[in-house]
Structure 1
Amino acid sequence: MKKLFLLAILISLSSTKAFCQTDKDDIKKAINTMFDAMRKGDSTLLKSVFADGMVLQGLDTKADGTIVLMNEKPEGFLKAVGTPHKEVYDERITYGDIKVDGALASVWTPYKFYRGAAFSHCGINFFQLMKTPNGWKIIYIVDTRRKDNCPE
Structure 2
Amino acid sequence: MKHLLLLFIFCIGLNSNAQQVEIENTVKTFFAGFHAKDTVKIKSVCHDKMILQSIMEGQKGTKLEEEKTSEFYKLFSTFPADMKFEERILSYNIQIDGAMAHAWTPYEFYINGKISHSGVNAFTLFKENNQWKIIHLIDTRRRSIK
Deviation at 1:110, TM superposition (A): 0.6
Q: Partner of 1:13 in structure 2?
A: 9
Q: Say whether residues 1:68 and 2:34 are aligned partners.
A: no
Q: Provide TM-score, normalisation by structure 2.
A: 0.91
Q: Say whether residues 1:25 and 2:27 are aligned partners.
A: no
Residue 108 of structure 1 aligns with an amino acid whose one-letter code is: W
Contact kept, 8 Å, 2:51 with 2:69, in 1: the verdict is yes
Instruction: Return the alpha-carbon distance in structure 2 between the equivalents of residues 116 and 147 of structure 1.
Output: 16
> Map of 1:1-152 to 2, 5 A cutoff?
5-65=1-61, 67-83=62-78, 85=80, 86-148=82-144
Deviation at 1:134, TM superposition (A): 4.8
- Larger deviation, residues 92-101 vs 14-23: 92-101
CA distance 1:69–1:114, shift in 2 (3 Å) = same
Identical counterparts, % of pairs: 34
Structure 1 residues 92-145: Cα deviation after superposition (integer angstroms, max 9, x where no partner): 002232101111111111101112212211101111011111511101111110
Instruction: Return the alpha-carbon distance in structure 2 between the equivalents of residues 7 and 74 of structure 1.
Output: 50
Structure 1 residues 58-78: Cα deviation after superposition (integer angstroms, max 9, x where no partner): 00135422x111011111111
Task: For structure 1, list consecutive stretches of 5 or more residues without a partner in the other structure.
Answer: none
Instruction: Return the alpha-carbon distance in structure 2 between the equivalents of residues 128 and 68 of structure 1.
Output: 21
- Larger deviation, residues 30-39 vs 116-125: 116-125
Residue 74 of structure 1 aligns with an amino acid whose one-letter code is: T
Instruction: Return the alpha-carbon distance in structure 2 between the equivalents of residues 149 and 13 of structure 1.
Output: 47
- Over the residues paired in the alignment, what is the CA RMSD in angstroms? 1.8
- Count of aligned positions: 145
- Larger deviation, residues 95-104 vs 120-129: 95-104
Structure whose residues are more often strand by fraction: 2
Task: For structure 2, list consecutive stretches of 5 or more residues without a partner in the other structure.
Answer: none
Residue 13 of structure 2 aligns to a residue whose secondary structure is: helix
Residue 61 of structure 1 aligns to a residue whose secondary structure is: strand
Q: Provide TM-score, normalisation by structure 1.
A: 0.88
Residue 139 of structure 2 aligns with an amino acid whose one-letter code is: D
